[in-house]
A and B are shown apart, each in its own frame.
Chain A
Amino acid sequence: MTIRLLVNGDPVELDVPGMRRLLDVLREDLVLTGTKEGCGEGECGACSVIVDGAVVDACLVPMSQVDGSVVRTVEGLAPRSVPAASVVHADSAGTGVASLDELQAAFLETGGAQCGICTPGMLMAARAYLDDGGGPDEGRIREAIAGNLCRCTGYTKIVEAIALVARGDR
């Protein structure tokens, strides 16, 4: 079936089976591999993306459900061009630059990302929480990311990063 949606602001038109997973379309058809697969059954949250403002597990969403939707992935967090006010850090090769939004920068500074595989999903859950007006309350932040498993950090620094942004300290 033909499905039209907006992915990170770009209009996309696809002819795909209606039961194809949003996760596979993002990763394979659109080559947006920032969204990860950790379990394929909605337990780990590594594939979290924002669909029409709500956090969903992209491994559980068939394409037929997102016709006409607005989808946001980790690739859509940071501004594409680098405005003067945004945070700029050296990329891994130490040669170029990558622009990060305030949430990504807070994760980098607090140590909220270790192995990084849960990070894109964690960022999307946190972004949805903040966009919804979420504050720095630790308990509420923990609830907001309770569907996203992290095995590296113990969550302490992730919670700290989200609270920093919620407080406007970042």
Chain B
Amino acid sequence: MTPRPSAATATTAAPDALIVPPATIAPGRAVTRPPLRREGPDKLTGAAKYADDLVFPGAWYGTTIRSTEPHARLVAIERSEDFDWSSVVLVTAADIPGENIVSLISDDQPVLVPVGGEIQHHAEPLVLLAAPDRATLRAAKRALRVRTEPLTPVFDPLTSDHVFAHYEIGSGDLDAGFAQADLILEGTYRVGHQEQLYIENNAMIAVPRDDGGVAVHGSLQCPYYVHKAMKRALGLTDTQAQVVQAETGGGFGGKEEYPSIVAIHAALLARKCRRPVRMIYDRHEDLAATTKRHPAVVTHRTGVRRDGTLVAQDIEVVMDGGAYCTLTPVVLSRGTLHAGGPYRCPNVRIRARATRTNTPPNGAFRGFGAPQTEFAAETHLNRIAEQLGLSPLAIRRRNVYQQGDLTPTGQVLRESVAGQEVLERAAEAAEFERLRGPEVGRRTSDRARLTHESALVTSGERIASGIGLALAWHGAGFTGSGEVHLASVASIELGGDGVVRVLTGSTEMGQGTKTIFPQLVSEALGIPYEAVEIAPQDTAIVPDSGPTVASRTAMVVGGLLLTAAARLRTTVEAATGGTFGATYADYARAHGPLRIDQQFEPYPGDAFDDTTYRGDAYPAFGWAACVAEVKVDLDTGEVAVTNVVAADDVGRVIHPVLAEGQVEGGTLQAVGYATIEEIKLDNGRYLNDRLATYLIPTALDAPRITSILVEAPFSGAPHGAKGLGELPMDVGAPAVVAAIHDATGVWIQELPATPERILAALGATAARPARSSGDAARTEAAVEAPIHAGTDPRPDAPTDPQPLRGPQPDERDEWPEWERRPEEPSR
């Protein structure tokens, strides 16, 4: 154990002692029983209106004709003469009144591929259709033919020469660092696509406005992203484009950028139809066409001293951006900045690039690049610990960032550094050292520890159990100067009717925005929770508070609201001489409405250079540790994750129930990423593009999850909050893979750890006995530190020979029908 003085350790007994005196942060603190979810009763009674629940009389049904090739030239769109085209509305790129661009970072993605243009990926939008009923819509689709000329596709991100973004960051002297190393270990780690799999598919309904504009009502995370994209593609003014969020059935990043496309498509049809158009994706279309988590290949070369001290890290990251840029540069940026893991190392080089392939574009997903690179960093560190005969806990204690340490961008970690605290809390609660110790046999037979037996586990005799640990950091809020550029606004209005209303563009998608905002504001104003209303997320009503992404809502927008509330309170109390709670209704009657707009101001002392990538990459970091226990069936290779202990430092817990919900849900998404979630591709097409073949964990696959919330407040936010949503996503997968190693002795370096990969790895190391029940051969890992350069044992060929589901002949001939409902009359 390092004798370094540790601020984090000092906080174990009294987290409140850190940085922000408790008295000054009372507004953000759950002081009493937290309020119930604001929109909960509507969701529980079925009254909540999601996009597909909204009724617009006279609405037509819209659909998208998509490419069936990964790379081709669009030669012609041919309409059969046997169909009455006056009964439907058809939109091609030629009908786009504005620019044929889906506005985001780069201008490379078209709304629709124009005739003569290049199709860049399978399922790319080519033509839009709308019809008064579904049967007519289907008939129109059958009467439309698309002629193309094939072009050569590129599928390998490693060889693609089209680079969307690249970064290099570093510090110290790499050669000097490696020269000090007692052990140099290399390894390559691969992760594939992951689907967000919100249970509500993408959905948007466009309604023409009287002023020539269009309003869209839909499922989305970022109203002002959609707003900007609509203005540009349809040539609309700020008021002509109106975006209204319907109740949203999950996002996880998957509704950050794609809703712009759905909205533009629906709006184009609605303008041409002059009536509302419903564009409701079914699961198949949503899986086949919308964004996924970026696949990545990460290579580490690491030098360590015999005692486990890191002296050199040379890391290369390659991400597969898919066919268009979308948010790839920002995803890669976050992945790069987190690639070293939460560890002090004086000599670091991280080189990263993201390239184009002819596959559907990848985009935002909880964690945003960090889960990919931190899986690699953590698995690599666990392999180093094994080589040195050190405990995974010990090597982290030796290297984890402490207050005052320097990151590879030259950022001094001035405050709110809780890596060691979350590590110790998780390890202690999970009894990590005891369970990974010599009591292996006892552990395996101790069924009492299991709260439920997973259906995944067969009744096989040879079931091995294991425990694994991972640690991560996650930059809070936007990267670098992102928040400064966003210049978000959040407002509070005291109406002339005496009602306090919160106005923000931050969306509720399950995480609790509509609950914590009134909670924060009511506590700051000294009025009841129920007395604070929240305005609908409608661009005609609320300001641009920035996107609801990057775990920034509670931290950044919540912080703006607290500042606005303080201003409102001061103004009212100065005028009335009484407390806000006692006098605000009188104030409103006497003075009329009062609105406070609060704009983001840079956090004090925070500076980042976007061109050199030097400085404060994030205003603060959240810290997460995860201990996972697994059972592995050595005959089938199946993994059951049985228990997880997650410790997350969120700065300040605003609402414990909602915060635990974020940890539990994020942890299970990480468990799915680690074990079963995988996309298979054939010629650029996702093969398992149905929920029957893309699997996510059920209640039986889910482990018992214990959440530990740690508070190391961030002084830049008035309440000290640092964000939470993404933290658990970073640590779950490497913890599970470490547990699989503990159980079986094999390292799985490519996610997910499928039965095929585990059996292949077990087969490849058949000479080494796997640790099964009663096998207490722990000494294997306790070898003397070998002084040699390790190499990556991964064979070139993929380890899993079987695709989940082969291409079905009837599905290969043409782009499959989206509408597979039984024939029925129109609504």
Q: Which residues of A contact B (CB under 8 A)?
A: 16-17, 19-21, 24, 27-28, 31-41, 43-44, 46, 62, 73-75, 77-78, 89-94, 98, 100, 104, 107-111, 113-120, 123, 138-139, 141-143, 145-159
Contacts and interface: CB of A to CB of B under 8 A. Distances in A.
A112 B192 CA distance: 30
Contact of A117 (B45, B250, B252): B250
B404 to A, nearest CB: 35
Contacts of B669: 151
Of all A-B residue pairs in the complex, the 9 with the closest CB atoms, nearest first, are A34-B46, A117-B249, A115-B510, A116-B43, A154-B664, A114-B510, A154-B668, A33-B53, A43-B691
Contacts of B698: 146-147, 149
17 contacts: A21-B824, A27-B52, A28-B827, A33-B52, A33-B53, A41-B692, A92-B41, A98-B47, A104-B45, A107-B44, A114-B510, A115-B509, A119-B43, A148-B699, A151-B197, A152-B250, A156-B660
Most buried by B among A20, A35, A111: A111
Contacts of B510: 114-116, 152
A40 B40 contact: no
B485 interface: no
Interface of B: 36-50, 52-53, 55, 196-201, 247-252, 282-283, 451-453, 455, 509-512, 514, 530, 533, 657-658, 660-661, 664-669, 690-692, 696, 698-700, 702, 704-705, 820-825, 827
Nearest to B454: A142
B469 to A, nearest CB: 19
A86 B238 CA distance: 47
B692 A43 contact: yes
B41 A146 contact: no
A130 to B, nearest CB: 15
B46 A74 contact: yes
Given A111-B660, A116-B249, A149 B696 contact: yes
A43 B196 CA distance: 16
Contact of A32 (B46, B248, B705): B46
A18 to B, nearest CB: 9
A38 B44 contact: no
A104 to B, nearest CB: 4
Nearest to A106: B44
Given A21-B821, A92-B38, A73 B46 contact: yes
B39 A92 contact: yes
A113 B40 contact: yes
A33 B198 contact: no
A73 B45 CA distance: 10
Contacts of B704: 156
Contacts of A159: 699
B669 to A, nearest CB: 7
Nearest to B35: A90
Given A139-B453, A156-B705, A151 B46 contact: no
Contact of B661 (A74, A149, A157): A157
A138 to B, nearest CB: 5
B199 A38 contact: yes
Nearest to B655: A111
A115 B200 contact: yes
B827 to A, nearest CB: 5
Nearest to B825: A17
B250 A75 contact: no
Contacts of B201: 38
Contacts of B705: 154, 156
A169 B251 CA distance: 33
A138 B451 contact: yes
A144 to B, nearest CB: 8
B823 A77 contact: no
Contacts of A24: 821, 824
B171 to A, nearest CB: 37
A93 B512 CA distance: 15
Given A41-B691, A100-B44, A155-B664, 9 more contacts: A33-B46, A43-B692, A104-B44, A150-B199, A153-B664, A154-B664, A155-B702, A156-B705, A159-B699
A89 B36 CA distance: 9
A114 B661 contact: yes
Contacts of A74: 44-46
B43 A91 contact: no
Contact of B42 (A46, A92, A139, A152): A92
A38 B280 CA distance: 11
A113 B699 contact: no
A64 to B, nearest CB: 11
B699 A142 contact: yes
Majority secondary structure of chain A interface residues (helix, strand, loop or mixed): loop
A37 B820 CA distance: 13
A74 B821 CA distance: 23
A155 B668 contact: yes
Given A37-B52, A77-B45, A119-B44, A21 B530 contact: no
B661 A111 contact: yes
B44 A158 contact: no
Contact of A98 (B42, B455, B700): B42
A40 B658 CA distance: 30
B37 A146 contact: no
Residue among A33, A44, A109, A159 with max Cβ neighbours from chain B (10 Å): A33
Nearest to A141: B699
A32 B53 CA distance: 9
Contacts of A36: 50, 52, 199-200, 249
B453 A100 contact: no
Task: Name the residue in B44, B657, B696 with the highest tally of chain A Cβ atoms < 10 Å from its Cβ.
Answer: B44
Nearest to B282: A40
Contact of B696 (A46, A94, A120, A151): A151
B199 A46 contact: yes
A142 B665 contact: no
B822 A20 contact: yes
Contacts of B690: 39, 41, 43
B452 A154 contact: no
Contacts of B514: 92
Nearest to A121: B199
B655 to A, nearest CB: 9
A115 B250 contact: yes
B40 A89 contact: yes
A107 B49 CA distance: 19
A17 B38 contact: no
A115 B198 contact: yes
Nearest to B666: A154
A93 B532 CA distance: 10
B52 A153 contact: no
A16 B196 CA distance: 36
Nearest to A153: B665
B41 A116 contact: no
B528 to A, nearest CB: 10
Contacts of B824: 16-17, 19-21, 24
Contacts of B453: 139
Contact of B41 (A31, A98, A117, A150): A98
Contacts of A147: 698
Contacts of B251: 115
A30 to B, nearest CB: 12
A111 B37 contact: yes
B278 to A, nearest CB: 12
Q: Most chain-B CB neighbours within 10 Å: which of A40, A108, A123?
A: A40
A42 B249 CA distance: 18
Contacts of B40: 89, 107-108, 113, 116
A131 to B, nearest CB: 18
A21 B820 CA distance: 12
Contacts of B50: 33, 36, 117
A156 B699 CA distance: 8
Contacts of B47: 34, 91, 98
Given A98-B47, A111-B658, A41 B42 contact: no
Nearest to B663: A154
Given A17-B825, A34-B47, A120-B46, A155 B699 contact: yes
Given A24-B821, A91-B42, A38 B283 contact: yes
